[in-house]
Amino acid sequence: MADDKPDPAKPEMSRGDTVSAGAANGRRVKLTITDIAKMAGVSKKTVSRVINHSGLVRDETRERIMKIVEEHGYQPDPQARALALRRSTLIALISNQPNPQYIVDIQGGILTGMAGTPYQLVIRPCDRSSPTLHDDICDIVQHQKLFGVILTPSISEDDELIGRLRQIGCPYVRIAAVSLDTPENMIETHDYVGAAEAARHIASLGHTRIAHIHGPDTFLSAAERLRGFRVGLAEYGMKIEPQYLMKGGYTFESGMECGKQLLALDVPPTAVFAGNDEMAVGVYQAVRQAGLRVPDDLSIVGFDDSPIATRIWPKLTTVRLPIVQMGRIAAELLISNHDRMAMQPPAATSVMPSLVVRESAAAPRA
């Protein structure tokens, strides 16, 4: 247990000493971390651990320090902290996600992971097709002296960018469907597992004409969800027929367009697995425009379990990916790895998707 005992050679500063100094000057004295350490009879490092919620301090010592902090209204100086780190306290979320709800959820998780720390979040959307992408991101990192970056799919899958970030010494955490890096730099989401569960559920209901709308080819998650879905169907002796495999864009509009094309087939499918909830809701719209009903005429299963899944009727059966939790873990992992005074690392650096059964999928009509 990394704790400190009072140093007898350094007498503890009393609360009265600080107040007297403030009164003599007719103003309130702004305490430093050194003052707090002296008053508590511990080292500055121990105070830093307590302020940054590290678990490496005894409860008795933590309570003593926090009592002093609260009594004097002490606030850490972010500029001094940034100087010690030789970086700012800014963390950038860099993303090329076409799904706005994903960004909202991941941002909420990151802010939760930052709670109680001096770190702040900045959002940087990017275009992976830009010829200056890598230079632009490195310029942002160096100009703002970013503490680090969190990368979402599919920009997280760009190994050339990762190489550039390493060259300039920028800490990072990648979020991706499979492991692409060392554990301290990775949040793995196991999309394959969730897609296989979706396939098993649809097949178990008795469907044989089953379609899949996958995401953009540039997203590894799209390939992993397609792979998992195929494996799940194979367990029931089935496969996706070519006419039932559609390419979407992880957007509502692409889901609606693919849904229209599937319903226009001479023999339309009886069930659709959409690569995310945005596309699944687009298929809902196509079904209703065709004068049909979910799930009577078409069963639909999505992926993500975003808030919209329970705001439509019938409620969407979908694969839950804990996106908010992913953001929290990413923030905690980044800070704990590269700030020696910060929190302990998260207990786990991967998440597992799970199927959430609601009302949008049922047995096909006879």
Element (H, E) at 20: helix 15-24
- Percentage of residues of the chain with pLDDT beyond 70: 86
pLDDT over threshold 70, residue 362: yes
**Average pLDDT of the chain, as a whole number:** 88
Main-chain phi, psi angles of 18, to 5 degrees: -65, -45
Give strand pairing partners of 356: 318
If you average pLDDT over residues 101-127, what whole number do you get? 95
CATH architecture of 191-320: 3-Layer(aba) Sandwich (3.40)
Which pLDDT belongs to residue 225? 98
Report how far residue 53's alpha carbon sits from residue 336's, in angstroms, rounded to the nearest whole number. 11
Amino acid sitting at position 49: R
Which pLDDT belongs to residue 207? 98
Residues forming CATH 1.10.260.40 domain(s) in the chain: 15-76
- Residue bearing tokens 């001096």: 118
pLDDT tens for 270-315 read: 999 999 999 999 999 999 999 999 999 999 999 999 999 999 999 9
Report how far residue 300's alpha carbon sits from residue 318's, in angstroms, rounded to the nearest whole number. 9
If you average pLDDT over residues 93-101, what whole number do you get? 94
Report how far residue 311's alpha carbon sits from residue 60's, in angstroms, rounded to the nearest whole number. 48
Which pLDDT belongs to residue 31? 77
Which pLDDT belongs to residue 319? 98
Confidence class for position 52, pLDDT limits 50, 70, 90: low
pLDDT over threshold 50, residue 60: yes
CA dihedral 302, 308, 309, 312 (to 10 degrees): -110
pLDDT over threshold 70, residue 86: no
Which pLDDT belongs to residue 343? 60
SS3 label, residue 66: helix
Residues forming CATH 3.40.50.2300 domain(s) in the chain: 82-190+323-338, 191-320
Q: Which CATH number fits domain 15-76: 3.20.20.70, 3.40.50.800, 3.40.50.720, 1.10.260.40?
A: 1.10.260.40
CA dihedral 286, 290, 296, 297 (to 10 degrees): -90
pLDDT tens for 194-233 read: 999 999 999 999 999 999 999 999 999 999 999 999 999 9
SS3 label, residue 32: coil
If you average pLDDT over residues 260-269, what whole number do you get? 98
SS3 label, residue 287: helix
pLDDT over threshold 60, residue 268: yes
Which of the two residues, 158 and 75, has the higher pLDDT score? 158
Contact status, residue 213 vs residue 255, Cβ threshold 8 Å: yes
Confidence class for position 65, pLDDT limits 50, 70, 90: confident
Strand 354-356 versus strand 317-320 pairing type: antiparallel
pLDDT over threshold 50, residue 135: yes
Which pLDDT belongs to residue 13? 39
pTM summary value:
0.77
Which pLDDT belongs to residue 71? 86
Contact status, residue 162 vs residue 172, Cβ threshold 8 Å: yes
Which pLDDT belongs to residue 19? 33
Which pLDDT belongs to residue 22? 38
Which of the two residues, 3 and 237, has the higher pLDDT score? 237
* CATH 3.40.50.2300 corresponds to the domain 82-190+323-338: yes
pLDDT tens for 68-84 read: 888 887 776 655 555 44
